[in-house]
């Protein structure tokens, strides 16, 4: 089983980034809806009603040499983007992330510390958490 070796980047969303990514050749678009559970011993048919956090996101993906890039636009129920994050999957032996692709470089707000749980999708499914995190990054100009 491969070991996940990824880095995350918080991006500012100007309202146009998603359209620009959708128009790029070689970029695929996916709509993801995920739920996180905190229960045991439940039957499958009852799991959806037991979900804790639910997230909707639109993901744009592409490969660039040995790297795989995803840009996730976390969506509120009204389809508004409340958090945007890029993620690069790197070869197992690589410790430093590559530079952001030129198409994303101008949108970088901050690079998330490796393994920081505040940037996991499960945490970002909590819209209040994600919006506070984004506001803190914007006001401080960095991740603390």
**Residues spanned by the domain of 67:** 6-140
Q: Give the model confidence (pLDDT) of 61-109 as tens digits.
A: 999 999 999 999 999 989 999 999 999 999 999 989 999 999 999 999 9
Domain count, the chain: 1
Is the residue at 44 inside a domain?
A: yes
CA 39 to chain centre: 25
Percent helix, percent strand, percent coil in the chain, to nearest 5: 25, 35, 40
Is the residue at 97 inside a domain?
A: yes
Is the residue at 1 inside a domain?
A: no
Is the residue at 41 inside a domain?
A: yes
- Sign of the dihedral defined by the CA atoms of residues 135, 141, 143, 144, in that order: negative
Predicted model pTM: 0.87
Is the residue at 22 inside a domain?
A: yes
């Amino acid at each position: 089983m491969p070991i996940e070796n990824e880095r995350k980047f918080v991006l500012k969303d100007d309202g146009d980034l998603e359209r620009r990514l959708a128009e790029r050749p070689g970029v695929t678009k996916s709509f993801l809806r995920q739920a996180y559970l905190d229960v045991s011993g439940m039957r499958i048919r009852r799991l959806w009603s037991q979900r804790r956090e639910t997230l909707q996101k639109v993901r744009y993906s592409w490969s660039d040499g040995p790297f795989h890039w995803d840009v996730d636009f976390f969506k509120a129920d009204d389809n508004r983007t409340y958090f945007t994050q890029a993620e690069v999957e790197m070869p197992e032996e690589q410790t430093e992330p590559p530079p952001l692709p030129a198409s994303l470089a101008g949108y970088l707000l901050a690079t998330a510390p490796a393994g920081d749980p505040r940037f996991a999708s499960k945490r970002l499914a909590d819209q209040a958490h994600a919006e506070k995190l984004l506001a803190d990054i914007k006001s401080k100009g960095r991740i603390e």
